[in-house]
């Protein structure tokens, strides 16, 4: 379903797809457990979260200074830095690097920033065929799909769909065995890695002190992407910088644990400049593309702390809404609670004002966030900015709700009225409300109020107490 379909329809379609809902449910719950087990290994993970939040916030508060240092260090080590104020500039810079050097065989490791700027389409438009090499992204690419989770791109796909796509696109024998499917992809991509000449990666952390790029991966495709080709291009948002090398372990101890529960990703790669003269192998050129693309607007406003995000995906896994609608329903590159903030903030005119409302504000995302972004609070603040975009009926309904919440009498009367008006759909849920309430019940179901309200039970209990007194 495309992003131009109204949000409520996308959600309705997602919820109706029971197979996807079940797959996402199982996978996210497993990750939530793994995260908790991983965090529990740490002596005091709350203290480390506080440090991580503080280091990132500090870096943001002094961002121009750290970016300057970072750029100077990379250039001092023989790397080139390019500045992209927007997505279009980033695409053009990367395409130019490829075409001006005649680089044709392009491999990519997983990068959400490259998804954000739709880099592959831009490369294809200049006649290149970039190959996604992360297993999940590779399957997304051959199946002409889009990722639905920032860490696990094919969380929504089952093995049957993957098997069909592999058979159709690679001409291999049909198998649903995950190990065999993985090995088919390995063999296919191995030859591509052997002959590639341009590697494009993202960046997890940029160390200002040394100009080092830190990339955290599990499969090894990231390492191949940054070491096999003649030219390595790293695309990086300006918010990825951190001050010092010794700040890195603070984040490394949290990132993989928050994502998958691992103490560290299998490979933590530190890149400081291109291949040295005497090095046995490695890329001759290193290009770092520093991209703004809406980040400085976020930075200058009241939502700066959103830029602390390290893209671990923990808030997606923790979110009961994400778990029930999956990533595609958000209609944005970044789904889940953090996506509900980032997407409308990065693209204020993009028509994403529904996203911050796609949350029950239960707070699980804020608790899971390794850099302590107060996601629920920011969601509420973002909602407040866009409440005028609600349809009139909904605004009327919310007014009535406000009125009822302020007056015990109106609340009690409203409760009685509702009990009479809400019709049980047969399973204890009302799917349609009367009058202005329809604006609320149209995308949601309401539980049928019980025969006796909590207040009535409370009253009765109190008078019993008095009698027993």
Stretch touching another protein by CB under 8 A, among 96-104, 157-165, 320-328, 429-437: 157-165
**Any contact of residue 22 with another protein (CB under 8 A)?**
no
The side-by-side arrangement of strands in the sheet containing 80-84 is: 80-84, 285-291, 231-237, 198-201, 106-108, 131-132
Assess contact for 54 and 352: CB atoms under 8 A.
Answer: no
Alpha helices (runs of H) in 304-373, residue ranges in sequence order: 314-318, 320-325, 336-346, 364-368
**Any contact of residue 245 with another protein (CB under 8 A)?**
yes
At 381, which helix (H) or strand (E)? Answer: helix 375-385
- Site for another protein, residues 38 to 77, rule: CB under 8 A: 41-44, 47-48, 51, 54-55, 57-58, 61-64, 67-68, 71, 77
Residue of 94, 119, 128, 162 interacting with another protein (CB under 8 A): 162
In angstroms, the CA 221 to CA 372 distance is 30
**Any contact of residue 159 with another protein (CB under 8 A)?**
yes
Structure tokens at 419: 């009990």
> Which of residues 114 and 221 has its CB atom nearest to another protein in the complex?
221
- Site for another protein, residues 207 to 236, rule: CB under 8 A: 209-210, 212, 218-221, 223-224, 226-228
In angstroms, the CA 204 to CA 252 distance is 10
Stretch touching another protein by CB under 8 A, among 246-254, 347-355, 382-390, 399-407: 246-254
Minimum distance of another protein from residue 155's CB (angstroms): 8
At 334, which helix (H) or strand (E)? Answer: none
How many residues of this chain interact with another protein, rule: CB under 8 A? 98
Minimum distance of another protein from residue 143's CB (angstroms): 13
**Any contact of residue 252 with another protein (CB under 8 A)?**
yes
Stretch touching another protein by CB under 8 A, among 128-136, 318-326, 396-404, 418-426: 128-136
> Which of residues 139 and 422 has its CB atom nearest to another protein in the complex?
139
> Which of residues 136 and 376 has its CB atom nearest to another protein in the complex?
136
Structure tokens at 365: 């995302």
**Any contact of residue 170 with another protein (CB under 8 A)?**
no
DSSP letter at 328 equals G
Residue 432's alpha-carbon distances to 17, 192, 324, 334, 437, in angstroms, are 21, 55, 20, 31, 8
**Any contact of residue 265 with another protein (CB under 8 A)?**
yes
DSSP letter at 143 equals T
- Site for another protein, residues 310 to 369, rule: CB under 8 A: none
Pairing outcome for strands 241-242 and 205-207: parallel
Stretch touching another protein by CB under 8 A, among 94-102, 113-121, 175-183, 429-437: 175-183
Q: Which residues contact 302 (CB under 8 A, 6 or more apart)?
A: 381
Stretch touching another protein by CB under 8 A, among 94-102, 134-142, 347-355, 456-464: 134-142
């Amino acid at each position: 379903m495309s992003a131009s379909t109204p949000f409520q329809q996308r959600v309705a379609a997602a919820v109706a797809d029971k197979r996807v809902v079940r797959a996402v449910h199982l996978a996210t719950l497993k990750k939530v457990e793994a995260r908790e087990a991983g965090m529990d290994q740490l002596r005091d993970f709350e203290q480390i979260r506080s440090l991580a939040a503080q280091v990132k916030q500090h870096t943001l508060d002094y961002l121009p200074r750290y970016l300057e240092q970072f750029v100077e260090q990379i250039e001092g080590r023989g790397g080139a830095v390019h500045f992209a104020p927007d997505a279009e500039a980033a695409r053009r810079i990367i395409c130019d690097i490829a075409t001006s050097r005649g680089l044709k065989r392009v491999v990519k490791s997983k990068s959400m920033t490259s998804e954000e700027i739709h880099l592959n389409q831009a490369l294809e438009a200049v006649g290149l065929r970039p190959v996604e090499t992360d297993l999940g992204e590779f399957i997304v690419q051959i199946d002409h799909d889009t990722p639905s989770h920032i860490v696990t791109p094919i969380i929504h796909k089952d093995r049957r769909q993957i098997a069909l796509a592999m058979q159709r696109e690679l001409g291999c024998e049909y198998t649903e065995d995950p190990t065999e499917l993985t090995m088919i992809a390995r063999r296919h991509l191995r030859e591509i890695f052997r002959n590639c000449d341009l590697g494009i990666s993202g960046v997890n952390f940029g160390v200002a002190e040394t100009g080092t790029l830190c990339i955290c991966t599990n499969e090894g495709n990231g390492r191949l992407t940054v070491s096999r080709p003649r030219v390595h291009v790293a695309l990086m948002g300006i918010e990825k910088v951190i001050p010092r090398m010794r700040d890195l372990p603070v984040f490394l101890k949290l990132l993989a644990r928050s994502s998958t529960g691992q103490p560290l990703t299998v490979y933590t790669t530190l890149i400081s400049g291109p291949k040295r003269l005497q090095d046995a192998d490695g890329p001759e050129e290193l290009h770092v593309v520093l991209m703004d693309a809406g980040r400085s607007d976020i930075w200058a406003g009241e939502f700066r702390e959103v830029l602390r995000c390290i893209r671990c995906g923990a808030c997606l896994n923790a979110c009961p809404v994400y778990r029930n609608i999956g990533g595609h329903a958000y209609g944005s590159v970044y789904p889940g609670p953090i996506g509900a903030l980032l997407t409308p903030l990065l693209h204020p005119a993009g028509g994403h004002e529904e996203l911050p409302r796609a949350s029950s504000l239960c707070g699980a995302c804020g608790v899971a966030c390794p850099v302590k972004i107060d996601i629920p609070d920011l969601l509420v603040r973002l909602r407040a900015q866009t409440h005028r975009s609600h349809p009139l009926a909904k605004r009327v309904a919310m007014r009535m709700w406000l009125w009822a919440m302020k007056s015990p009498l109106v609340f009690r009367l409203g409760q009685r009225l509702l009990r009479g008006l809400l019709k049980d759909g047969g399973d204890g849920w009302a799917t349609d409300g009367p009058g202005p309430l329809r604006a609320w019940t149209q995308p949601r179901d309401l539980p049928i109020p019980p025969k006796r309200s909590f207040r009535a039970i409370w009253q009765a209990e109190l008078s019993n107490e008095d009698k027993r007194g």
